C-alpha cells in the first residue's frame, strides 16, 4: 500500500469514524486497515486517531493531517481526470425522499448513467436527518429551510404546496371558503423532526402568510402516513402538489382554498466540503439542477 493509498484509507476511516466501516467500504480486511493506520502514524511520528470501543476520532494532529489529505487527494483526482478520459468514475452515495426519487430521478436515471457509464450510484431513500460524513453519503436532497449545518448547499428549486382533504371529510365538516372559516375543522398533525412540535397550516392572504393550527386527533412524523390518513378522512393537511396530483385528479382528495396557497418549500442539495471537488459529484449536481429546473415542482 503506497502513500496515497494510506491517505485515502485514513480519510475513509475518519469519514466513517470506524475501522470496520472503512474496511467494508474499500473491500479490505479490518486487520489491513488497522496495520496501515499504525504504519502511517509510525511514519509521521504522531498519533492521528483516538480509538474507543464505539468510535474513532481524530487528534489535533490527525485533524490537521485529514484536512491536508483531502486537499491532496482532490488535486490528484483532478489531475488524473485531465490526462485520462476525464470520465467521472467510482461510487456516488445519494439520499433523497422515496417519492421525490421515484417521481423526478428514476425516470431520467438511465440517461444520466448512460452519459457516465463508469459511475455507480447508491440511492438511499428517506427524509431523516443523516450524518453525511459518518455514513459516507456524498449528497442528500432535502426539502425545507436548511439550518447552518456546515455543509455546502445548492438550491434546486421551490416546491409548490397544496391544501387537501378527502371527499368524506368535506361531507362531514363542510367546505371552507377562506382560512378564517376553518373554525370547527380538524387537521392531521405533522410533527417536525427538528422541533418536535406540530407544524401549523399555512395560507397566503393579502400577500402575507397566515398560520393556522387546528385540533388534531391524529399526529404523525411521516409524510406518506399523513397522506394516507388524509385519504381516509382524518383531517385537512398540506403537502407538495406533485405528491397529491394523482389523488386530486382521481377525486380521492379535494384541493381546499386554492386562492390561499401555502408558501412554497425550498428544495436543496447538501454535501460536505470534502466532496465538492469530486467529478462524480459535480456531474450529478449539474444533472439534478437541470432536472429540477425543468420539472413541474
For the chain, list the strands marked E by DSSP.
Answer: 49-51, 56-58, 90-96, 119-125, 139-143, 152-159, 161-165, 189-190, 201-205, 208-212, 219-220, 237-240, 254-256, 265-271
pLDDT category at 276 given cuts 50, 70, 90 is low
Place of cell 481524530: 58
Please answer whether residues 262 and 161 qualify as being in contact, where contact means their C-beta atoms are separated by less than 8 angstroms: yes
Domains of the chain from N-terminus onward: 3-83 (1.10.10.10), 90-155+267-293 (3.40.190.10), 161-263 (3.40.190.10)
Calpha distance 141→100 (Å, rounded)? 9
Top-confidence residue, 97 or 188: 188
CA distance 159 to 174: 28
Q: 219 pLDDT exceeds 70?
A: yes
The tens digit of pLDDT for each residue in 260-275 reads 999 999 999 998 876 6
Residues found in the chain: 297
> Per-residue pLDDT for 162 more than 80?
yes
Confidence of residue 165 (pLDDT cuts 50, 70, 90): very high
pLDDT at residue number 133: 67
**Residue 255 confidence (pLDDT) above 70:** yes
Amino acid at each position: 500500500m503506497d502513500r496515497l493509498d494510506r491517505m485515502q484509507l485514513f480519510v475513509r476511516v475518519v469519514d466513517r469514524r470506524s475501522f470496520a466501516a472503512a474496511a467494508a467500504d474499500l473491500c479490505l480486511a479490518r486487520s489491513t486497515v488497522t496495520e496501515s493506520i499504525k504504519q502511517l502514524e509510525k511514519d509521521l511520528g504522531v498519533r492521528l486517531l483516538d480509538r474507543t470501543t464505539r468510535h474513532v476520532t481524530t487528534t489535533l494532529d490527525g485533524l490537521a493531517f485529514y484536512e491536508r489529505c483531502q486537499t491532496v487527494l482532490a488535486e490528484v483526482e483532478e489531475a488524473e481526470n485531465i490526462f485520462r478520459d476525464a470520465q467521472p468514475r467510482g461510487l456516488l452515495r445519494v439520499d433523497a425522499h422515496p417519492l421525490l426519487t421515484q417521481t423526478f430521478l428514476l425516470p431520467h436515471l438511465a440517461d444520466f448513467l448512460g452519459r457516465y457509464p463508469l459511475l455507480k450510484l447508491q440511492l438511499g431513500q428517506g427524509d431523516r436527518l443523516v450524518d453525511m460524513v459518518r455514513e459516507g453519503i456524498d449528497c442528500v436532497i432535502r426539502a425545507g429551510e436548511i439550518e447552518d449545518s456546515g455543509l455546502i448547499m445548492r438550491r434546486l428549486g421551490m416546491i409548490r404546496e397544496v391544501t387537501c382533504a378527502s371527499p368524506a371529510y368535506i361531507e362531514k365538516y363542510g367546505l371552507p371558503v377562506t382560512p378564517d372559516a376553518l373554525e370547527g375543522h380538524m387537521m392531521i398533525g405533522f410533527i417536525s423532526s427538528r422541533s418536535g412540535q406540530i407544524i401549523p397550516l399555512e395560507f397566503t392572504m393579502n400577500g402575507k402568510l397566515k398560520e393556522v393550527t387546528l385540533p388534531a386527533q391524529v399526529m404523525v412524523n411521516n409524510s406518506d402516513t399523513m397522506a394516507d390518513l388524509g385519504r381516509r378522512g382524518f383531517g385537512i393537511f398540506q403537502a407538495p402538489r406533485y405528491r397529491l396530483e394523482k389523488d386530486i385528479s382521481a377525486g380521492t382528495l379535494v384541493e381546499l382554498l386554492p386562492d390561499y396557497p401555502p408558501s412554497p418549500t425550498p428544495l436543496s442539495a447538501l454535501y460536505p466540503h470534502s466532496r465538492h471537488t469530486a467529478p462524480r459529484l459535480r456531474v450529478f449536481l449539474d444533472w439534478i439542477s437541470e432536472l429540477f429546473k425543468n420539472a413541474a415542482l
